Amino acid sequence: MSYHKYGISDDLVYRVKQKMKNPATKERMKRLLEGVTKYDLQNRATVRRLLDQASAILQEPLTGQQKENIVSFVIAQKIDPQNTLHLLRLWSMFR
HSE-up of residue 92 (Cα within 13 Å, Cβ side): 7
Q: What is the DSSP letter of 11?
A: H
Please give the sequence-ordered ranges of beta strands (E in DSSP) within the chain, or none if there are none: none
Amino acid identity of residue 93, one-letter, is M
Look up the pTM and report it. 0.87
Spell out the per-residue pLDDT of the chain, length 95, in tens: 588 899 999 999 999 999 989 999 999 998 998 999 999 989 999 999 999 999 999 999 999 999 999 999 999 999 888 888 887 887 777 76
